[in-house]
Structure 1
Amino acid sequence: MDKKEKELVSKLLLEPRDFKGMEIYAHRGHWNTAGSYENTLTSIRKAANIGVHGVELDVRISADSVLYLHHNPDVFENISFSSVSSKDIDRVILPNDDHIPRLDATLDLLKQYPKLKVNFELKGDIPAKFLTIYVRRINDLVMRSGIHERIFFSSLSLPLLVASKNYNAKIKTQSINYADFDMSKLVAAKVDMINFSYAMSMKRSELIQRAKENKIVVCSGAGKFVDVMSLLDRNPDVQMINTDEPDLVMQVYIKSDVKEGND
């Protein structure tokens, strides 16, 4: 962060905003802080501790069909995650000394935070031979956890969301839509939410209105704190925000909430 951006952040932190019931999600957990790393149990704990409404986490599958939190398609350089066994994945030590967490261990941890909502992103680049077991296994684990009511699945792949919905209609779905927008396809797929890019949220307010008219909850992927503040000023109809700087956003959220309570 350069000097100019630091000055802007310092200024924005002092300005309360009207969040209008908007929910704040920590993108890959709260990883942008000391001792943390994305998609780890530590990042989930740190997110919960700063009071966010939810976390967004990525789910991948190993060669022997074990589910893990991991964003990138490779686990080692040029080695696909889905080509590596769980035994070898379990040996990986991340930069913050965490291991790559299994999904079942993640769900166990989430039970300790009953107010924390969870967005599990289903990765559209999963090899085709794994897709059926991937969809079924994540649904089965979530349902067995007993906390499925505060969990939803998102994906860039609409067919993957349809497959999940067909297998288990109890889990809500969110389409990540960063380019093309076809409301008829979203309605046909019975998605409950849509995640627009920051640019689309700022420039295409009519898309947000169309989504709301079809009773689809609108989320924005406004990663940086300054972008979140700009979005609040420009388009307050967004109902959820996914951010990489949840600690800064929550500082303003808490101040704004206290101010509203005193008015």
Structure 2
Amino acid sequence: MNLRFIVIMMMLVSLCSCGSMNYKIPNNNNKAVAHRGAWKQNNFPENSIASLKHAIELGCAGSEFDVRMTADSVLIINHDAHYNGLLVEDTKYEDLIKFKLSNGEKLPTLKEYLIVGMTNNTTTGLVCEIKPSKDKARGKFIARKVVNLVKDLKATPYLAFYISFDYDILKEITKISQTKTQYLKGSKSPDQVKADGISGIDYHLKVFKEHPEWIKRSKEIGVVLNAWTANTPEDLDWLLSNNFDFITTNEPELLLKKVSFLKLQNY
């Protein structure tokens, strides 16, 4: 084996190591997590492929979406328990997709959503909310199914974090994945979350205003801070002034402008 061949092989290995397998996003610090995608300004349906693509186009740090499972175990993207009057958990996917989203899109599966989220995306982490199920066992099953699909698609580097109102879902995820997790319900202290292996707290803004000590404590012990859903200039300013790691918003364009302005001020 000659020296030239060895050098070429080393260069190829180096190039491969910089590829998507080791690629972690979000790789920016603009804090903006588009709530159900960036939908509001362009009147896209929430949780649509269009809203995800626009969040990526904007360069948001994250784009949040909601996962449920149908009666025939298909993972879909939908916020409410019902879709077009049909209870998702009790309805087969083929019956749900008879009804289009308002922009003509088909109700997306999680697989379809993840593939889009991995395409031409160098900025925006995927924030996967797993909705609570009708029973704890089913919720844990959904959690495992979601994580396994993410792994099968090699989408783990694109996942910013998993979030849920169901604490047991998050604890189940920590058993099978190193991906970060955030609790949504607002009922547990940063110390308890940390002790249970949950990475962060993503609480409603009013929870943090009622418990400002949780902001300080989270920073002391390395618990990631996120808040939902902040939309007014005043609320966004309050969260920015308290240096939250992420801010979940229906107004990502406004938040991005504010963050850019603050960066300019600090130069």
Query: Which TM bucket (shorter chain)?
Result: 0.7 to 0.9
Partner of 1:244: 250
Which of 110, 125, 129 is matched with 1:117 structurally?
125
Per-residue Cα deviation, 1:89-108 (whole angstroms, up to 9, x for no partner): 22221122222110101111
Q: Count residues in correspondence.
A: 237
Give, in whole Å, the separation in 1 of the partners of 2:58 and 2:261. 13
**Partner SS state of residue 184, structure 2:** strand
Q: More displaced, 60-69 or 48-57?
A: 48-57
Say if 2:228 and 2:247, in contact at 8 Å, map to a contact too.
yes
Q: TM-score, normalised by structure 1?
A: 0.83
Question: Which consecutive unaligned segments of at least 5 residues does structure 2 have?
Answer: 1-28
> More deviation in 201-210 or 55-64?
201-210
Residue of structure 1 equivalent to 2:169 = 160
Instruction: Give, in angstroms, the shift of residue 163 of structure 1.
Output: 1.3
Deviation for aligned residue 1:51: 1.9
Q: Which residue of 1 aligns with 2:62?
A: 54
User: 1:28 is matched with which residue: 22, 26, 36?
Assistant: 36
In 2: Cα distance, 1:133 partner to 1:175 partner = 18
1:205 correspondence with 2:212: yes
Deviation at 1:119, TM superposition (A): 1.0
Choose 222-231 or 91-100, whichever is displaced more. 222-231
What TM-score does the superposition give when structure 2 sets the normalisation length? 0.81
Deviations 1:161-207 (A, max 9, x none): 111212x13222111133x2334531232001111211123342211
Q: Is the 8 A contact 1:73 1:125 kept in 2?
A: no
Query: Deviation per CA, 1:81-133, whole angstroms, max 9, x where unpaired?
Result: 11111111222211222221101011110111132101101112344463343
Could you say which structure has the larger radius of gyration? 2
Cα separation, 2, equivalents of 1:110 and 1:200: 31
Aligned ranges 1:146-225 → 2 under 5 Å: 146-151=154-159, 152-166=161-175, 168-178=176-186, 180-225=187-232
| Aligned counterpart, 2:260 | 254
Summarize the Cα distance change of 1:114–1:147 in structure 2 as closer, same or farther, 3 Å threshold: farther
**For the Cα contact (< 8 Å) 1:225–1:243, is it kept in 2?**
no
Partner of 1:8: none
Larger relative CO (CA 8 A, sep 6+): 1 or 2? 1
RMSD (Å) for aligned C-alpha atoms:
2.0
State the partner residue of 1:133.
141
1:69-90 deviations in Å (ceiling 9; x for gaps): 110011132x311111111122
8 A contact 2:30–2:259 mirrored in 1: no
- Letter of the 1:247 counterpart: E
Which segment is superposed worse, 33-42 or 120-129? 120-129
How far off its partner does 1:255 sit?
3.6
2:102 maps to 1:95: yes
- Contact 1:135–1:163 (CA under 8 A) maintained in structure 2: yes
Distance 2:256 2:54 in 1: 12
Against the structure 1 CA distance between its residues 89 and 33, is the aligned structure 2 distance closer, same or farther, given a 3 Å change threshold? same
CA contact (8 A) 2:163 2:183 kept: yes
Percent identity, aligned pairs only? 23
Structure 1: give runs of 5+ residues left out of the alignment.
Answer: 1-20
Distance 1:181 1:208, change over 3 A: same
